[in-house]
Amino acid sequence: MKPIIPLLSLVLLLASAMPLRAQGNKQEPQQPQKFVALVEEAPKLTFFQGFTLSADVFGVAQRIFSDYATFEGALRLNLKNTFFPIVELGFATCDSEDANTFIRYKTNAPYLRVGVDFNMLKDKFQDNRLFLGARYGLSRYNFDISGPPIKDPVWGGSEPFSYTDIATTSHWLEIVVGVQVKVWRNFHMGWSVRYKREISSTKNQYAKPYYIPGFGTTTQTTAWGASYNLIFDLNWGKTKHTAREVTLTHRPLQQPTDTTSVTPSDSTLQQPQQQ
């Protein structure tokens, strides 16, 4: 019996040590690793994007090859880089004499246009624009008209033909097509073509106005016009892209659910190794 007792003691000692060894070899469960993903949101435009100030140089250059000229400036609001309400204010001069009849027409007066432009380009984030717009024009002005004496075919003799300060009010509509191109920073240049149609003008017993400030000559009820603008664009509130941080949890033996720009929270660039 004595040899058996030490043998049993040895067996019990080995049996009690096996669970401890197995427990020592058991790995601790890994904690989930957190990652920060940058998720790009859809581009956004705030409602009010600023405004633009512009001046027309084509109207000033008209004096070189015609008897009239315009000095015009404009203020245009920018709503979501799509709609552009605009106010155009100008001053026009005309001093013209017909080479055949020697009738002279003269006026100097301000004019006003109000309307809206629509940016037809699909990409509303770029600084170049293609416009389609409409205007309502108004001018209240006085004009002078004079010419050679008029001969009376019945009684003979002649009467002077000269009238001054004839008060007139004119209204018209315009359809505008134009472009605007970025040159440097906030400085742009652009041109436009306008189709104009006269609505009405004050009638008087002496003569019809030859030239309407802001509209043009009245040889027909329609007219064409053009402008070349120097534009200073005060644009703000335009957000081209926005990003937000999203915390993702990565567990062993699983792939991250979001594969966009995943970066560990400890700012390292290495992806976790698969277990």
Same domain flag for 211 and 77: yes
Domain ranges, residue 208: 45-238
The alpha carbon of residue 2 and the mean position of all alpha carbons in its chain are separated, in whole angstroms, by 104
Give the model's confidence band at 265: pLDDT under 50 very low, under 70 low, under 90 confident, else very high. Answer: very low
Look at the chain and report how many structural domains it folds into.
Answer: 2
Are residues 33 and 161 both part of a single domain? no
Whether residue 178 lies inside any domain: the answer is yes
pTM above 0.75, yes or no: no
Tokens of 265: 């929270």
Report the run of H or E that residue 185 belongs to, with start and end. none
Mean pLDDT of 239-247: 55
Does residue 11 lie in a domain region?
Answer: no
Residue-wise pLDDT tens digits, 100-139: 888 999 999 999 999 999 999 998 888 899 999 999 999 9
Say if 19 falls within a structural domain: no
Which tokens belong to 10? 């040895």
Judge whether 226 and 196 are in contact, CB under 8 Å: no
Place of tokens 């084509």: 58
Q: Is a pLDDT exceeding 50 seen at residue 91? A: yes
pLDDT tens for 137-149 read 999 999 999 988 8
Residue pLDDT, tens place only, 10-33: 666 666 656 555 555 555 666 666
- 127: number of CA atoms within 13 Å, CB side? 19
What torsion do the CA atoms of 202, 208, 210, 216 make, to the nearest 10 degrees? 30
pLDDT tens-digit profile of 210-227?
A: 999 999 999 888 999 999
Closest CA to 58 of 210, 216, 201, 199: 216
**Structural domain contains residue 210:** yes
Q: What ranges make up the beta strands (E) of the chain? A: 33-41, 44-45, 48-56, 68-79, 83-97, 104-119, 129-151, 158-184, 187-201, 211-212, 216-217, 222-235, 238-239, 242-250, 262-264
Q: Is the domain of 120 the same as that of 214?
A: yes
